Chain A
Amino acid sequence: MAATKPDRDTVLDATEFLYREARALDERRFRDWLDYLSDDVRYEVPLRVTREGQAEWEVSPTSRIFDDDKQTLTLRVERLETDFAWAEQPPSRTRHYVANVVVDPGERDDELRVSSNCLIYRSRGDSIEPNLYSAARTDTIRRVDGRLLLARRYAVLDQSVINGHNLSILL
């Protein structure tokens, strides 16, 4: 692991990367969003389970709500581009609030380990009750040819029983 603490510019670059990536999602520019991802991206949202304090795990080591790679994320985007993605017709309005960004050295010299809190507000139709998803994200961000790319996202939701009739949005 590269031991050097990332400098201020690197921290700012990584933080801005997360903001821009979130904006692509909120503006429903899903093709642009795919361009923020490395070709070997791994996108995982594990299942959280309510356990006793002494239990070995609380985030399931085997069960996931999302377990995607570039191919399946592209499939999700292609789906949204058809006229038949009923879950998002009309589309959800989302707002990703990214906060508490902490940038650490990654496992490789060209990578950063970036953790953040993400609160997603989702509004649909005329409903005055939004879905709120709060997640702790641990991302791996890689520098490739002068650009930053998301190589891994591991987003753990804070609720064990998800409030929302489906998860047709991206975290």
Chain B
Amino acid sequence: MATDSAGTRTEAGLEGIRDGIAQGRFPAHVFNDREIFDTEQRRVFSKAWCFLAHESEIPNRGDYVTRYIADNNLIVARAESGEIHASLNMCRHRGNMMCKSEMGNASHFRCSYHGWVYKNSGELVGVPYMKEGYGGRIDKRDWGLVKVRTDTYAGLVFGTLDPDAPTLEEYLGGFQFYLDLYLKQGSSGSEVHGPPDHWVTETDWKIAAENFSGDGYHTPVAHQFGFNLGYFASSGSTHSQGWAASIPGKGHGIGLGHTPGFPPFAGFPEELAEEMRSSLSPEQVEVFSQTRTAVGTVFPNLSFLMQPFSIVPGEAGVRFVTMRLYHPIGPGRTEMYSWCLVPKDASDEYKQEAYRAYTLAFAQAGTFEQDDLENWARVTRSAGSTMARNIEFPYVMGMDSTPDPDFPGPGHVVTPYVNDSNFRNLWSRWSEYMTGRV
């Protein structure tokens, strides 16, 4: 039953992990393991569609941000044509980094080493001593910045290093239905409030990805202070009602927390709730109007959380959305990126209020975030021990639950929200990548 001490050194080890998931078992060591980390870089992050940026971070021509896929630093820029391009942040001449800041605006990038110049679309346009030095041996068309394939959905820019990856639409596989709650707040959609928080954590990216794919089970305990001080409209026992929805075979999952008696679209400004009633599909309205908390993960490492929050006990407060990217920087080490998304159409006052709720609850100093990270750091530490190499965790909660036939949304949807169903789907997809099946 346990993985052998050679662990993942062999393909057989990875196959064993895959078989275990089907039976509701997952080994502890994957959450802090050098071999797993290295394999993930090659087999997961080099093949999946990875989140790069929100379009509202680069609204104008020339705007760029620098982001990562695996350990590759990329420039994500809006070119003069208005199109978004992602290019490896590495000069083709000797490999120097082109952009050294996190964000900015530039029509061209000039290498600070020998002066090669590229358009923000990645095209090579300037080579010093072109005639005298190279004598026609360089064709600029062959030496542009290395391009990364990109595609967008409702403001989200994704990139993939795999030229053979399916389309983004196919990759998301219907999860768009749920993402719209975060991305289409009002008919004009959502925008980032500002640059992301980022900080380095002693946490494996997978723990965070799993938690955000719908862990309603931890809320009454990990965030007990919120109930204790009366900052939730529901009690701990009702907080875990609702649905766990996942897209079979894709790895994406979302927990939709539901509180009996919670008013429809509670925490949204009235005019925004009205807009959503008309701009979203009737099925989406039915699901979202009764959703209190929505916490979801797009495989592998992009997550969202929407929740109403009030500093006044008993009040619905305001809805805030946090979007986060878990960028793996080592086994058991993750750089967190966290944005606050606000409805583009909302008043400045509401945007400010939502942003304040976000900082108080879920930015890096957020009262909820703090406790999650403390727990995740301890899980990560335990997972790195020698005894943990032979320990597995149970993922059998809700194994016998049958999908709700009346639920109007897509995917495999079970109730209650407290269920390991989304996690089994997440780790099943992960193991497909890890064993080279994707």
Q: List the interface of chain A (C-beta within 8 A of B).
A: 45, 47, 49-52, 55, 60, 62-68, 71-72, 75-76, 78-79, 82, 84-89, 160-168
| Given A49-B195, A55-B104, A162-B364, CB of A67 within 8 Å of CB of B359 | yes
Return chain B residues, CB-CB under 8 Å to A49.
101-103, 195
Contact of A72 among B196, B311, B363 (CB under 8 A): B311
Chain A contact surface mostly = mixed
- On whether the beta carbons of A84 and B224 are closer than 8 Å, the reply is yes
| Given A71-B311, A75-B311, CB of A84 within 8 Å of CB of B194 | no
Contact of A63 among B195, B199, B222, B375 (CB under 8 A): B195
- How far is it, in angstroms, between the C-alpha of A43 and the C-alpha of B424 when the chains are bound? 43
Return chain B residues, CB-CB under 8 Å to A67.
355-356, 359-360
Contacts A165-B200, A165-B203, A166-B201 known; list 19 others, CB within 8 Å.
A45-B365, A49-B102, A55-B101, A63-B194, A64-B363, A66-B365, A68-B360, A75-B229, A76-B367, A79-B367, A84-B228, A85-B371, A162-B198, A162-B199, A163-B199, A166-B365, A167-B199, A167-B365, A168-B374
- On whether the beta carbons of A165 and B199 are closer than 8 Å, the reply is yes
Hey, what's the 0/1 contact readout for B78-119 against A, CB within 8 Å counting as 1? 000000000000000000000011111000000000000000
* B275 CB within 8 Å of chain A: no
Q: List the interface of chain B (C-beta within 8 A of A).
A: 100-104, 193-203, 222-225, 228-229, 231, 311, 335, 355-356, 359-360, 363-365, 367, 369-371, 373-377
| Given A85-B225, A162-B198, A165-B201, CB of A63 within 8 Å of CB of B360 | no
- On whether the beta carbons of A47 and B194 are closer than 8 Å, the reply is yes
Chain A to chain B contacts (Cβ below 8 Å), 21 pairs: A51-B101, A63-B193, A65-B359, A66-B365, A71-B311, A75-B311, A78-B229, A82-B224, A84-B223, A84-B224, A86-B222, A86-B370, A86-B375, A87-B374, A162-B364, A165-B200, A165-B202, A166-B365, A166-B369, A166-B373, A167-B364
- How far is it, in angstroms, between the C-alpha of A87 and the C-alpha of B200 when the chains are bound? 16
- How far is it, in angstroms, between the C-alpha of A78 and the C-alpha of B229 when the chains are bound? 8
Return chain A residues, CB-CB under 8 Å to B374.
86-87, 89, 165-166, 168
